[in-house]
Structure 1
Amino acid sequence: MTLKTSVLTLGLAAFIPLSALAQDLDEARVKELVLEAIRENPEIVMEAVAILEQRQAGAKAEAQAKALETQRDLIENDPNAPILGNPDGDVTVVEFFDYNCPYCRRVKPEVRALIDADPNIRLVYREWPILGGGSVFAAKAALAARKQGKYEDFHWAMMGNEGRAEEASVLRVAREVGLDIDQLRTDMEAPEVQDHIATSMQLTQELGFNGTPSFVIGDALVPGFVETDQLAKLVAAAREAAE
């Protein structure tokens, strides 16, 4: 039986006589009944699709919740992930981002306003370069900047950078924040840099994220641009749940 036929048969029970349902129907007869039911009750197509979408959404939410439960320690406490804000804060906000993502750049002032207003937030950054080679180069440079104690300076400068992140623009920003470029290039190839990016890819796949930015705040998985007020509400909910 085809997928289309399987979807449509979800709505047939209310429209096909019980005597027909009781028969041992072959595929050809099922298709006849499907077409007959559609002609008489075309709205069942949308009803069947809605049922399928609801089931798929429920399965996805269940899988995401399980992934968050099993991977929470790695998501929030990976020693190979940069931490801004208060390292000892009582609520952890995790952001997966890409330096070439326009929505990540738009959310930058929202996130900065959040941690400026709430000194008890741990902000964990996960470099997730999914928008091309320039994104990968930028992510590797940012992670390498940790060796020179410049991750935060470099990160904010890159988020404020106009134009696409490519090798030339990344190195220009690196010079502007005082990074040693020769050391940076060497440190970009360190195993921990690739490990961080690989872990980000793994976690986003398990969590069901499909774009940047994406946030994890307590039990909430939040894809896309979020304003400061909404971020603050999610932080408050996570803080309350932890009490």
Structure 2
Amino acid sequence: MIQFFNVTKVYKGDIYALKDITVKIDKGEFVFLVGPSGAGKTTFIRLLFREELPTKGQILVGGRSITRLRPKEIPFLRRNIGVVFQDFRLLPDRTVYENVAFALQVLEVPPKEIKARVEEVLARVGLSGRAHLFPHQLSGGEQQRTAIARAIVNKPRILVADEPTGNLDPVTSREIISLLVDINRLGTTVIIATHAWDIVNSLKKRVIALDKGCLVRDDREGVYGYEA
């Protein structure tokens, strides 16, 4: 499903964000990406959905090199990769329903299908009764659920979450992670970059650890492994 081959990313000033990373993530896996701040987690994610290009190496998604995609092909890659951010990135002047529907409208999905898919996904994330509300009327957890609904409404094969619980309280954080686990059980490959050591330790999922841009650990049933 996802393969990094000797991937290095160097920013201006000879700053190494990633150094010679080789890793494979299979279809349907649930993976925690961990490491201290500045370890390279966000760069890993940006490379995965082609927001940036590696300085060296190759990245394959579904057996195809995404580093060699032409600009017009990048949107097709991103249709298969849902992304959830720590700061939600919701459109403030649109309701929950409209925020989720927008992800389908840009793909020119027929209105009748949009309605059915948005209602289905809002029910899945527990927001059916909040569809008419605007982001400022929601709790942090509800905003994150909306962001997750938007990321999965196109039924992507891969869901990537960058610190999805970073702004949430512990109880809400566990609810959000539980939702992501449920999505994974339906066959979606899920990758979560996180500092939530307690959640990582409790779930015992695959853990890929980065430190100073290097891959330092890859455990099938891992723990966080850093100072809490």
Question: Would you call these one fold, judging by a TM-score over 0.5?
Answer: no
TM-score normalised by the shorter chain: which range applies? under 0.3
Higher strand share: 2
Question: Which has the higher relative contact order, 1 or 2, with Cα contacts under 8 A spaced 6 or more apart?
Answer: 2
TM-score, structure 2 normalization: 0.24
Larger radius of gyration: 1
